[in-house]
Structure formats: structure tokens, C-alpha cells
A and B are shown apart, each in its own frame.
Chain A
Amino acid sequence: MLIAQAVLEGVLVGGFYALMAAGLTLVFGVMDIVNFAIGALIVLGAYLSYTVNVHLHLDPFVSLFITTPIMTVLGFAIYWFLIKPIKTDRVVMSLLTMFAVATLIEGVLDLTFNSGLVQIHASYINNSLKIGGLNFPLIYVLSFLLSAFLLAMLFLVTYRTKFGRSLRASMQNPVAARLVGINTDKVSGITLAIGIGMAAVGGMIFGTTNAFNAASSYDLISRLLVIVILGGFGSVGGALVSAIFMLVVQDVVSVVWSPVWGSTTFYVILIVVLLVRPQGLFGKKGVRAQ
């Protein structure tokens, strides 16, 4: 029963890690940049939800109607004012730019909220459901459902809309996409905006399940990068599968053996997978070589 509980928790927690990683992987797929600021942006999203929760007394999930648009606009602004003007050596320079954005966000949050830990509250956060001997923490269930819904929406946007076609074309071959009239700048801006908008959702979930401060981003970024690398850069489905796989492996090893070996086991599996498939589980080999 303990192992079944670990699998359940791995799936539930893996769901919202997948959501946080989806933005990262999409941005890389379209723009060829690793958004090193994703951890800081998630923590910013958590602080925004916390502020709305404390000052407007809104439910954390309702707070997303305020925080997500703010973060989406911020994402678009980051692209328009910081990424787009970079004309040479864009991959490296944008990496440094996003690192600077992360440092700036952390500094501003530290000054604004000081370094004490805070957590987002709602009356139901400590509630859980007991079904078939398994314990379903309500906040994890709600977060998983929201993540699944948003990932499904993202999938629909990517594969069933005109913008999605432009997005996929930009991922596959940005030069050819420009040649057939796709405004890749606009696609990139919207993609970064979506990615950072999703960080608002990830931040709210992170903030309800963890006490956090401005420095909490460091643990997040390493985990999310690992998820994206295993899933394959640019693959939303890969992010979902690898996030759930990572959390289930860690949780099961933690209960059966030791939490210290939980992450070690996962990294061993990651190395083996990358030896066999360097592009990750769902990444496309050499797609950028064109």
C-alpha cells in the first residue's frame, strides 16, 4: 500500500512539475534558448498569488485570473525588450539575459518581501480524501486536474490552431517558416508569454504546497531542466511523461529504500537514457541541424 501511495503521489506531483516544465520546453523548441529565469518566474508567480490571497482574500485558484495575465504580459515584454533586440550570438546572449532577469527578480522579491518564508493558504489545503486505502491530498488532486487541463489546452493550441501550425513550423525550421511568411518574432513573443503565463499557475501550486522565499527558485530550476532534458527539448508530451516518471521513481525509491537514493536512481536512469537517446525520450534528433 505504501508503494501504491508513493506512485499516486508521484503522478499527482509530477503533473504540476510537467506544467512548469512545459513552458521551458516550448520556449526552447521555438527560440532555441534555455529560460534560466523559469525558477525565479515561478517564485514570482507564487508571490503574486500570495499577495492577491493575503490582500484581496481571494482563493489561490481564483487569484490565477489576475496573476496569469500579469505574467503573460511580463513574458511578452521580456521578449520584446530584452530578447528581440539581440541580433548576434542570440543563443548565448539570451541565456545570459535570462540569467540576469532571474537575478533581478530574486533581488526585487528579496527587497519587497524580505527573505522570510511564506505560504499561500486556503481552507482546504490540508484536506484529503481516503479512497481504497489510498490518501488523496486535495490540493495535489486539484493541482493535477488544473495542470492536466492546461496541458491539454496547450496541446490543442499547438496541434489544432493556425498559431499552433506557425509554432510548430518555427520549431522545425525557423528559416523556412520565415520564408513562407510566418512572423517568427511574433510566434516567439507569444510562446515566451505562454511559457511565463504558465509559470503563474506553477507558482500558485508551488506556493500552496511549499513554504517559499525568493531563493526557492534554485531547487526548481535544476529539477525542471532535468525533466526537459529527459523528455526531449521542445516536447510538451515528453515533459509530461518525464516529470511523472521522475517523481514516481523518486517517491517509490524514497519509501522502499531511501530519499537519498531517490534522486540518485533517477539520475542514473537519466544518464542511461541519454546514452541510448541523446535527444531525450521524445526529442527529435538533429532537428536543429537544418
Chain B
Amino acid sequence: MKNTTSGLGASRYSSHRRRKILWTAAGSALLLGVTTGIAGTSASAATVKPVTIGISVSLSGDFSGDGLATEQGYKVWASVQNSHGGILGRPIKLKFLSDASSPTQVVTNYQKFITSDKVDFVLGPYSTKLTKPASLIASRYKYVMLEGIGGGPSVFSRGLKNVFDVSASATYQLVTFAKWLVATQKPQPVAYATMDDPFIQPMVDFARSYLNAHGFTDALYKVYPAETSDFSPIASSIAATNAKIAILGTMPPDGYAMIQDFIQAKYNPQMLIEASGPDQGSEFVKAVGATNTEGIMVPNTWIAASKNFQNAEMVKTYIKMYGGTADSISADVPEAFSAGQVLAQAVNHLKSLSNPKLQAYLHSGASFVTAQGPVKFIADGENGGATPYVFQWQKGKYVPVLPLKGADKVSPILVNRPDWGTTPGA
């Protein structure tokens, strides 16, 4: 019995001991695992901690079309740059917030990026209107703001030292066309109409000043508010001048509406250039009709087939990510992409995430290469090395025609547009 009892007791003891050993082993294993895991995670995190970049984009409101393209441009850049080792060997993590095209919201967004998210860098939003307040906030917190789509003169006239535009600034966008007119055409009246936008209007005004200085007179000069939705009186006024050259400071919807109104008014200028709209690829063709595109021109800072740095890779990655063709890529995409390229080149050169060091380096006269061409910042932050192109629709294709002496090959310019509705091959 005792034996039995002892046997039972031994058995109980043995069972208790086994459980204790098991629990101890399990606990040890768990502890070891957790410790190893933590250690492993810490080690891993130390090596792959991403470089965070905050960007406000306009995904609703007036700039929603361009805002989406801007976001795509930055995402394509992050993808390409990450495939090349990111920045300083660390992956790039982009943080986006939508600003609904609002100058108030864009300020809130950048404040959040800097003070709450504590991002390493910020990149610019879409438009001059939003870049102005955004760059001011960045300056207050001593952050650099590299941007490619906010090049209105008012961005650079405030004495800020932290804002840098990688694209051709607004002032010079139409100058290539104006210079070509002066070189090849006799002085004559030119009709101008422009939106009162801080990016668009300076484009037209600078070209107008240049042409006026070279003997071209004003057939008409009209400025219209950005909220205009009925363009027929402006188009009728231009049509009444019968000017052979029309230079329009438009955004895409007004650019389309103006062409529609010209067709209805049977006004057919020999040369028609719009600040924006004809650069929107298939959207433009659908809006104005394939038979009406012939000879219409637009300034642009980028050529899809250019051999500029990483341009082919950008185009390939964009098509992989979003579909379409090279011609359907909005100009906002390379503009945003180029801002990222300059950031990566500068930070990799400095081997530091310091914004003050970055600002000093960008002001040092250093040169950079981008998908849009060379970048070298002048004192106010504009890109002194930019080459604005002029594109023209010819036989249903969107081709570069100016500058004649640039690095990229261009097609001969079509000087006299045909009648509306007669695009060859359309």
C-alpha cells in the first residue's frame, strides 16, 4: 500500500517535476525567442530604417487632375530610386496627405509632416498657389522644399532660401516660342488671354514683354479670373481681332473650351499656343476632337523620348505602374520625379539627412541631372539650367518642335495651321 502510495507519490512528484521542467523550458524558449526576436528586429530596423518624405498632394478640388499625376510622379521616383538602393542605402518611404487644392490645408499638412510625423524631408505640392504657403512653413522649421511644379515668380520673390524649383520657372516657359517668333516672323499684332494664376499669367506676360520689345503689338490682352467657366466672350473678343497669332495662358479646361469657342466662332489663327491643355495627351484629343489638334502648340519641360538621366527608366516604371503610353504621361510626372532625383543626388553626396546642410549644398552652384535635363540653382532657387521646349500637334502626334538648337532632336515646326477639322490622318 505504502509502496503503492509511495509509488503514487513518486508518480505525482515525477509528474509535477516534468510539468515544471516543461514550463521552465517553454518559458526559456519563449524568453529566448522574444529576446532573439527583439534583437533581430532591432538589428534589422537599424539597417533598413526608411528615409521618410512628406508630400501634400491635391487629390480633390481644382487641382485634382494634376494632383494625381504629381502623386504618381513621386511614387514612380520612389520606386526607381528604391531599386537603386534608396537614399544612403535606406529605402524611401513617402507619406502623402491630400490638401483638397486648399492653401490652408496644405499648411496644415506640412506642419503635420514636420512636427508630428517628423519626416526627414518634404517635397513640394502641385502649383504655385500651394507651393507659396507650403515653402513658408518649411522655411519656418528649417526644412528644404525641393519642388518641380510651383515655379511662379511669386514663389522666388519672397527672399526664402529654402525653396528650389527643378523645372523651368514660369517666366521662361514661353520665351522659347517668343524668341522663335522674333527670329522668323515679321512683327505683327498678337492676341493674348490669360488666367490670373500666379504661374500661368507670368508666362504670358513675360512672352508679351519680349514680343513688345521686338515690335510685335497687342491685338488684345485679356486677363480672366480662375473661376471663369464661360469663355465665349473672351473667345469672341479674340476672334474679333482676327489676329494670326494667339497666345493663351490656359489651364486644361479653359484651353479646351477656348478651342471649342474658336471653332464655333470660325476663328482660325495661324499660330495658336496654350500654356497648358494640349500637353494632356489623349485627354486633350478627346476634348477638342482628333480633327482639330493640328498645329496647336504648348510649352513643356520634358520630352518623353529624351535620353536625359533615368528618363527611360521613369517612363518604363510609370507604364508598369499605371499603364498607358509614354505620350500619355502628364508633364507633372517628370516634374515631380525630377524633384526627387535632385534630393537623392544631393543627400547621397552629402551623406547626411541634415536639411540645413542640404540647403547650403543646393545653393553652392552644384549641378544635378534629371529626367527633364540639367539642374543648377540660381540665387533665388530657380533652375538656371532648364531648357523649355515647345511641342506641337502634327498629324495626330505630339512632337517637340523647339528649341531648334537644343540637345534633343526636334521636328520641323508647322507655321500655318490648317482649318479646323482637317487634321491629316485623324
Contact in complex: B65, A2 (CB < 8 Å): no
On whether the beta carbons of A106 and B60 are closer than 8 Å, the reply is: yes
The number of chain A residues touching the other chain, given as a range, is: 35 or more
Contact in complex: B236, A250 (CB < 8 Å): no
Is B4 on the interface with A (CB-CB < 8 A)?
no
Specify the main secondary structure of chain B where it touches its partner: helix
* Binary flags per residue of A125-153, CB closer than 8 Å to B gives 1, else 0: 11110100001011110000000000000
Give the complex CA separation of A110 and B59 in angstroms.
9
- Name which residue of chain A comes closest to B292, CB basis: A126
Given A127-B264, A211-B287, A259-B224, A250 and B233 contact (CB-CB distance below 8 Å): yes
With both beta carbons as reference points, the residue of chain B lying nearest to A264 in the complex is identified as B225
Q: Which of B223-247 contact A (CB under 8 A)?
A: 223-225, 227-230, 232-234, 236-237, 240
**A251–B231 alpha-carbon span in the complex (Å):** 9
Residue in B60, B224, B234 whose Cβ sees the most chain A Cβ within 10 Å: B60
User: Which residues of chain B have C-beta atoms less than 8 A from A128's C-beta?
Assistant: 264-266
Cβ–Cβ < 8 Å partners of B236 in chain A: 2, 5-6, 9, 135, 255
Which chain A residues lie closer than 8 Å to B196 at the CB level? 260
Evaluate whether A247 and B240 lie within 8 angstroms (CB atoms) in the complex, with A116-B65, A135-B265, A263-B225 already known.
no
Residues of A within 8 A of B249 (CB): none
The CA of A106 and the CA of B287, in the complex, are separated in Å by: 21
Count, A-B residue pairs, CB within 8 A: 126
User: Can you report 15 A-B residue pairs in the complex whose CB atoms are below 8 A from each other?
Assistant: A13-B230, A106-B60, A117-B256, A117-B280, A117-B287, A126-B263, A137-B264, A215-B64, A215-B101, A247-B230, A251-B232, A259-B222, A259-B228, A262-B233, A263-B228
| Chain B interface residues toward A at CB < 8 A | 59-62, 64-65, 67-68, 101, 196, 222-225, 227-230, 232-234, 236-237, 240, 252-253, 256-257, 260-261, 263-266, 280, 283, 286-287, 289, 292, 420-421
Known: A115-B64, A117-B253, A255-B237. 6 other contacts (CB 8 A): A117-B65, A121-B289, A126-B421, A209-B260, A210-B229, A247-B230
Q: Which A residues are within 8 Å of any B CB, using their own CB?
A: 1-2, 5-6, 9-10, 13, 106-107, 110, 114-119, 121, 125-128, 130, 135, 137-140, 209-216, 218-220, 222-223, 247, 250-252, 254-255, 258-260, 262-263
